[in-house]
Structure 1
Amino acid sequence: MQLIVHGGAGSAPDDPESRQRALDEAAATGTGEPTPAAAVVAAIGVLERAPRFNAGVGGAIQDDGTARTDAGIMTDEREVGAACSMPGVRDAGRVARAVMNETPHVLVAGDHAVSLAEGFGVETEVDLTTERTRERWDDLSPSDGNDVEERLAWVREQFGGSDTVGAVAVDDGEIAAATSTGGRWCALAGRVGDVPQVGSGFYATPAGGASATGAGEDIARMTLSRLAVERLEAGDGPETAAEHAIDELATETDGGAGIIVLDDEGRVGSAYNTEAMQTSTAKQS
């Protein structure tokens, strides 16, 4: 099993060492799983529990004061599952995998996704906030009125952030990619970014897989993960494929993003145009 994991693209973290330890743990945890799909869910699960990442506990808070999670997963056989806009669900990656394995659907949203999570034994009603995120929210002054224009003006002023987490794994030619997030700070309640959108936040084919992070709207406009994997299919190596995808994003948008790529031979690549993006790789025979 070969695996690469990322902890989000954005500004330089104030605690890179502890974040790197968590990423290393995530990568090592994933390689101990029996299949690539299990590996990527296990890897991002470590980060969904690590409060310094924007996924699971410690994720971004939307403009109504609620943290919601999104995740998506895809395999080389084009099996896809995603879940989004889930309050109180830490293990979003597990819900996405349940959608993929247990339902005839690709994406389930909101309270219905939360009910599905509960039905498959995923813990719900988890407090996704931390002291750090509560303090950040308390420092803001959200609009509490019903005026739509006033609310949107506040959202545009405050909207931002990144640090989505993701992983890509390969074993004996089988591939899976997964991404999980708390979204972006102060988004409209119910906003869904790139992460649960197949081809945008995650993508996999027999050639390889990719997981993206950063400005979700721009990633979705470019279907960034699909762009990278298509370069693998055209014969590029993972590093070139990652760089091409980020270059395309920079040409067409003003967004900051990062991406990790793993091909069917276990070669890894990554690229980003933000200040930082931490990654970790691991391999187990």
Structure 2
Amino acid sequence: MRRMPTLAVHGGAGRLDRRARRAEIDAALERALGAGFDAAGGGALDAAVAAVRVLEDDPLFNAGTGAVLTATGGVELDAAVMVAAGLRTGAVAGVIDFANPVELARAVMEDGRHVLLSGAGASRFGIDCGLAPIDPARLAGAARRQDGSLGGTVGAVCRDDRGALAVAVSTGGTAGKLPGRVGDSALCGAGFYADLAGAACATGHGEDFVRLVGCRRAVELLAGGMDAQTAADRLIEELEARVNGLGGIIVVDSAGRPGVAHNAPYMSWAWRTAGGSARWSD
């Protein structure tokens, strides 16, 4: 039986209060939802990737063209996708010359030989797949990014009208990070996960989600019978209790119910379902 899609997106979580820019952030998240719903006819993965691409292209967010700088003044991007069917996934890390690394991550998944490519190897693979690189200087060109004042990791989770589940995530990582640092967004189970019980995508301090394997844990909670909101709340409780972690998570369960939770001072998110929509930058 066909059901209406559910799509949830986030624009990052952290300590920086960005409520003064709430109108801009909300508008960007609405554009992402719109792009995702427009693409949803192609399936959950198409919807999630389309939504993330919109946020990668918006300098409000720490992803793609809005990414923060490393300690040495460069940009290194991580991204990933995953679909529940067959647990298929693809990720890239340390990408310096693709403005939409989520598309590169999808190409890794669809190629099927590997699940994670990094650095120059990821870039070479993207070129071989016909994706267009850009000059790394264009990604590292905005000086205002050096203070880390932009938004955080971006991501999307979707259950489509056929019940398929997918997740996509993209980030510039931590502002001032050491070159070569890889966070949770490129690591399956840590910053993203999708299984038949649901899909989850994290944001915040990446090392905390790596230690907890946070998104895999959230989906385990769904498989144990929790709905999306209860699982999201429980995951953030465990993040804080077990690793003193800071961040947020978006979740969608197999019934299409969305859930959002965070313990950071700020998180931006939005979702849309058959029953309506909600958004908040809090």
Instruction: Tell me the residue number matched to 2:279.
Output: none
Amino acid at match of 2:17: A
Following superposition, the deviation at residue 189 of structure 1 comes to 0.4
TM-score by length of 1: 0.88
Q: CA deviation at 1:81?
A: 0.4
| 2:234 maps to which of 237, 244, 252 | 244
Match of 1:20 in 2: 26
- Which residue of the partner structure matches residue 6 of structure 1? 10
Name the residue aligned to 2:271. 281
**Counterpart of 2:126?**
117
Structure-1 residue corresponding to 2:84: 76
For residue 165 of structure 2, what is the aligned residue in structure 1? 175
Q: Can you list the C-alpha shifts for 1:75-110, whole angstroms capped at 9, x where unaligned? A: 112001001100021111101110000131100000
Q: Residue 4 of structure 1 contacts residue 280 of structure 1 at CA under 8 Å; is this kept in 2?
A: yes
CA distance in 2, matches of 1:135, 1:96: 27
What's the CA shift for 1:58? Answer: 1.5
Cα offsets for 1:156-175 (capped at 9, x unmatched): xxx99871000001112100
TM-score, normalized by length of structure 2? 0.89
More deviation, 246-255/196-205: 246-255
- Tell me if 1:202 matches 2:192: yes
Deviation of 1:136 (Å)? 4.8
Structure 1 pair 130–270 and aligned structure 2 pair: CA distance change class (3 A): farther
| Runs of 5+ consecutive residues of structure 1 not aligned to the other structure | 140-158
The match for 1:259 is 249
Counterpart selection for 1:128 from 139, 145, 151: 139
1:72–1:195 contact (8 Å) kept in structure 2? yes
Give the partner amino acid of 2:34: A
Closer, same or farther in 2 for the Cα pair 1:277/1:135, shift >3 Å?
A: closer
| CA apart distance, 1:124 | 1.4
1:108 is aligned to: 117
Deviation (angstroms), 1:254: 2.6
Match of residue 230, structure 1, among 220, 226, 231: 220
Work out the CA distance in 1 between the residues paired with 2:144 and 2:271. Answer: 33
Q: Where does residue 29 of structure 1 map in the other structure?
A: 35
User: Which residue in 1 is equivalent to 2:152?
Assistant: 163
Deviation at 1:128, TM superposition (A): 1.6
Question: How high is the sequence identity, in percent, across the aligned residues?
Answer: 39
How many pairs are equivalent?
263
State the distance in 1 between where 2:140 and 2:273 align.
33
Please tell me whether the aligned partners of residues 11 and 151 of structure 2 are also in contact (alpha carbons under 8 angstroms): no
Tell me which residue corresponds to 1:148: none
Matched residue type, 1:12: D
1:184 to 166, 174, 177: 174
- Shift of the alpha carbon at 1:252? 1.4
Q: 1:197 to 1:276 in 2, by over 3 A?
A: same
Kindly provide the CA deviation profile for residues 50-79 of structure 1, in whole angstroms up to 9, marking residues without a partner as x.
001000011111112111110111111200
Are 1:38 and 2:46 matched, yes or no? yes
Runs of 4+ aligned residues of structure 1 deviating over 4 Å after TM superposition are: 159-162
Q: 1:64 & 1:173 partners in 2: Cα distance?
A: 44
* CA shift digits 1:235-264 (9 cap, x unpaired): 001001001111001001232110000011
Q: Distance in 2 between matches of 1:79 and 1:110?
A: 21
Of 202-211 and 109-118, deviating more is 109-118
How far does the alpha carbon of each residue in 1:187-214 deviate from its partner, in whole angstroms, 9 at most, with x for none? 1101100001000110000110000000
Report whether the alignment pairs 1:63 with 2:71.
yes
Provide the C-alpha distance between the structure 1 equivalents of 2:67 and 2:257, rounded to a whole number of angstroms. Answer: 30
Q: 1:89 to 1:227 in 2, by over 3 A?
A: same
